[in-house]
Structure 1
């Protein structure tokens, strides 16, 4: 009954979702193509697929990459379909795997669309990344006889409380999961509180620690800095959200009074805000550069707006201090592992609930510090700028945290191997 009501609501929403997709296609041409895939209609692969791996967007796809590669290594004859929801992640699938996997957009969560998708893919095993629990997707996979695993699973205390309120209505949702492979022990405990049997829960660690990075990133960071004075300091505000750019720029304005050569690399999370961030920096009187006009950094710039996707790691490598956005506002923060893997000291706002346990791993080594607001951000940045030796030591500590966290890939594939044999 609950799923029926949910499906009726989805049916009512679908025309509006399709209209949104149409309008978005006007602004972003990449959304115009392959629309029928989202309704479950596409050219089916010639053979049934052994694995269906669902990674909603780029972050989840990057976490899924090592699982996919490990599966391809251990089970080279098995066929893999990867679904995502965005054109950016679709392009990344092609870049990472070429023709070695089959890619299609995930269907909207309506029984007709999910059924059409499953009929074409015919998967035996479903791996869902992190938190994507869609009722009709899970029900359809279970009905089709698929084994369903939630991998790299995380569940915040806030989300657990939300599920708990409706547990009588949602218990069937969790019953469809054969395995829940959690990032950390508190995640496992929260899933257990929701009624999932302990024998279906494992703690495998976070796959994000096992992400593969370009071995030449450090050198690429140095190349970006070639035009700067060797002593010039750079801090990067990465993945900022609405309302954060102004705060970050105001902090930078104050810091420039003491550190006139200080350069800020400003990286809005979403492309729709690239231009507004650039304009705001200009309006505040900064000398501003942007990637779309020039890739290199100049010594006489105050702010550089990274207005392109896919280049963040290079600019992390070029920076001395990292502030992780989405955390001064209640977005929940972003992944600290990427700058940590490059040995950077990190700051984050008080709202880091999306990556709470990972953040706590870094906090335990003092390589990630929490700033309560923009005023505190200025204080903590000043502390690091005044003592480059301490900043470097904290960066080394961050790198050590990443190294110690590795090994989740093998644990995940080992956990699902008995289901495959």
Structure 2
């Protein structure tokens, strides 16, 4: 696959680059104040990274990346900013399509989980290089742009960092947003400092978003309607690793005595006080029930396991099962998933998936992956963060939102005792997800129409 080098910006590219004058004067003035405050806090950054490195050593090992002084992988590549693990997964179908067309990709992250997931997904692709994104300081971003010379920036979902966007625009590099995810809660009342921060969306040459509701929100912010497209959700286009499917099959076989499997996915600390007694009651009532529990935060892995054990529940940590998860678990009632990047190895092993951040007012976490894998999904009442998928999935019969923890527990008991209903919901999940594919291809077409022949140039 050739390495492509951008020699000069075609006319179509120049036409679609936004001028900084598109930003209101107040927003530009606030940017200066924001940068001043950021520089006052700069001396504390190494200390913060050192503290975070106690649990995630990569923060300190790659500290130079934060100042744009780390190793340069690919120059003249398409720069994709995928902050964390979820955004990295969402970006993966688009990255694969860019690579199939011969583009090199520079994939940057804010979190170690995003960095690790990108390394896993593209371990065998030398055309994808990775780094932590630089600190949002004007000079760090300028150094980054000078050293890496990206031909375009694609920002995933909702991230709007002032220096990244303003300095990239200043450099004459086109910016697009993929999988745009602007929630009503993010807009707020449309006043105050937040309203000026949201004006940064005006710097995007184009925004590819999920549904008409998202489209309408961008228009309310003042984005030109011709620069927003509804293309769907790219997570439906993710490639499922066959190794994960094999691991799920092995796991279910080795879960000795298991007849029915419930997964608790991406639970947050605030709702775990409700989930812990619920799980205790569920497994006490059903000797054939086994639970897979994947807390959202790595800091909660051991804590959830300890709290389950304090209730007399037999717990196994995923990390004790070996890479292929082929160790038998004759006494285990709950497997705590203390790993990242492997959720697709657990969804297929479950009969029913509860997705967290929904029993408290957090809006809910990602439901698309279990739906793609044909698993019925239940949640609590707070789903505003995933309503773009939850509402149509509910209409299709693949998803249910319950009023509270009590109603959720009651429904789990009902569904686990009714294999016919579970099978119907599973079939609905498969059909629903299959109908939603294609967003990555549509996004790529938008990018082509915006930036023109960004592959113009010579092979190195």
Task: Bin the TM-score by the shorter chain.
Answer: over 0.9
Matches within 5 A, 1:286-365: 286-294=313-321, 295=325, 296=327, 298-365=329-396
Matches within 5 A, 1:210-229: 210-215=237-242, 217-228=244-255
Number of the residue aligned with 2:87: 60
- Give per-residue Cα distances to partners, 1:341-395, cap 9 Å, x unaligned: 1211111122222222112221111211112222111111012012111011101
Change (3 A) 1:65 1:168: closer
Distance apart, 1:415 and its partner CA = 0.7
Select which of 402, 408, 425 maps to 1:394. 425
Select which of 126, 150, 157 maps to 1:123. 150
Number of the residue aligned with 1:22: 50
Distance apart, 1:327 and its partner CA = 1.6
- Verify the 8 A CA contact 1:274 1:305 in the aligned structure 2: yes
Distance 1:164 1:80 in 2: 37
Name whichever of 152-161 and 167-176 sits farther off. Answer: 167-176
Number of the residue aligned with 2:4: none
Distance 1:263 1:95 in 2: 29
Number of the residue aligned with 1:269: 296
- SS of the equivalent of 1:263 reads strand
Name whichever of 115-124 and 169-178 sits farther off. Answer: 169-178
Distance 1:392 1:219 in 2: 21
- SS of the equivalent of 2:396 reads coil
Does 2:150 correspond to 1:145? Answer: no
Distance apart, 1:86 and its partner CA = 2.1
Number of corresponding residues: 418
- SS of the equivalent of 1:375 reads helix
- SS of the equivalent of 2:346 reads helix
Distance 2:437 2:362 in 1: 27
Number of the residue aligned with 2:400: 369
Does 2:37 correspond to 1:9? Answer: yes
- Give per-residue Cα distances to partners, 1:90-135, cap 9 Å, x unaligned: 2332333332122221011111111111111112211000001111
Unaligned runs of 5+ residues in structure 2 are: 1-28, 454-460
Of the two structures, which has the highest relative contact order with CA contacts closer than 8 Å and spacing of 6 or more?
2
Distance apart, 1:328 and its partner CA = 1.5
- SS of the equivalent of 1:326 reads coil
Change (3 A) 1:162 1:215: farther
- SS of the equivalent of 2:415 reads helix
Change (3 A) 1:244 1:280: same
Distance apart, 1:167 and its partner CA = 7.3
Select which of 112, 121, 130 maps to 1:87. 112
Report the TM-score, using the length of structure 2 for normalisation.
0.86
Distance 2:195 2:415 in 1: 50
Distance 1:271 1:167 in 2: 30
Distance 2:195 2:269 in 1: 37
- SS of the equivalent of 2:313 reads coil
- SS of the equivalent of 2:188 reads helix
Distance 1:84 1:113 in 2: 15
Distance 1:44 1:320 in 2: 45
Distance 2:126 2:230 in 1: 32
- Verify the 8 A CA contact 2:258 2:289 in the aligned structure 1: no
Distance apart, 1:287 and its partner CA = 1.6
- Verify the 8 A CA contact 1:344 1:392 in the aligned structure 2: no
